[in-house]
Amino acid sequence: MTAGRPSPDNEQRPLLLVTNDDGVYAPGLLELRRALEPVGEVAILAPEHNWSAAGHTKTMHKPLRVNEAQLSDGSPALVASGTPSDCVALALLGILDRQPDLVLSGINLGANVGHDLTYSGTVAAAMEAVIWGVPGLAISLDTFEPASFAVAARFAAHLADHVLRERLPYPLLLNVNVPARPAERIAGVRITRLGRRIYRDALVTRRDPRGRPYYWIGGEPPSGHAEPGTDIGALAEGHISVTPVRLDLTDHEQIARLESWALTFPLA
């Protein structure tokens, strides 16, 4: 199996692994691959179907298959039966002949901002890369409607070039969200913190043909608090948002406060 793998004569160029959570045939992945060609050699290993909102899922109880595939422009890719983060683990554990220098996940259809990061398969793939010590970028487009990925792809390639030169400290990933508008209407780039999503989920209860209830988590797409300094605020003002995200979820400021509780065990 050679399709989608790095070729030996290209070993001087950085190797970029591209994956996503919308599935290997999603248009955002193809656009990202094309934009990255000037930056380095691109290998693709992505899931065979859509895993949006699958989070950081690891497949541990069934085998994983990896097959060769062709994207719609005829370019080779590898497609895996597992999740986005499985794809990254497979690549870093040796499916590719050499280690990627950078993992890019996307371009996702739909922003990944605020608490979305805890659901996002797109971001989970970048997290998996960071766990293995490889820098990870997650790139998302702020629309759920079919749209052009060109602006997001161009910016992702620009940022990838920076990351390869500057490196990222462990355990950091960059979460990038791009407004769905033409380049001339992008206001600029903001380095942001995570904002606060407003989820509008609603429980939909229906009955199956045997009269038993089933449930669907439905409702309107999420909105958010467009506070200055946040990813949601940046998108609302037409800026590209770049958020540095640590895999260390510890709230360091709270350690002293919890210590003041003087918790002990065994109990008196």
Chain residues binding Mn ion by CB under 5 A are: 21-22, 52, 108
> Residue 57, class by beta-carbon neighbours within 10 Å (0-12 exposed, 13-18 middle, 19+ buried)?
middle
Closer CB to Mn ion, 108 or 192, in the complex: 108
Numbers of helices and strands, H then E, in the chain? 6, 11
Closer CB to Mn ion, 40 or 47, in the complex: 47
Helix, strand or coil, per DSSP, at residue 208:
coil
In the complex, the smallest distance separating the C-beta of residue 148 from Mn ion, rounded to whole angstroms, is 17
In the complex, the smallest distance separating the C-beta of residue 206 from Mn ion, rounded to whole angstroms, is 25
Element (H, E) at 8: none
Closer CB to Mn ion, 22 or 101, in the complex: 22
Closer CB to Mn ion, 120 or 241, in the complex: 120
Element (H, E) at 191: strand 188-191
β-bridge pairing 213-225 and 188-191: unpaired
In the complex, the smallest distance separating the C-beta of residue 165 from Mn ion, rounded to whole angstroms, is 29
- The residue with tokens 């800026």 is 239
Q: Distance between CA 17 and CA 26 in Å, rounded?
A: 16
| Cα–Cα separations (whole angstroms), residue 15 to 128, 133, 140, 169 | 17, 15, 21, 19
Q: What is the DSSP letter of 29?
A: H
In the complex, the smallest distance separating the C-beta of residue 106 from Mn ion, rounded to whole angstroms, is 8
Q: Closest CB to Mn ion belongs to which residue? A: 52
Closer CB to Mn ion, 19 or 108, in the complex: 108
In the complex, the smallest distance separating the C-beta of residue 21 from Mn ion, rounded to whole angstroms, is 4
Q: Distance between CA 28 and CA 21 in Å, rounded?
A: 10
In the complex, the smallest distance separating the C-beta of residue 178 from Mn ion, rounded to whole angstroms, is 14
Closer CB to Mn ion, 15 or 141, in the complex: 141
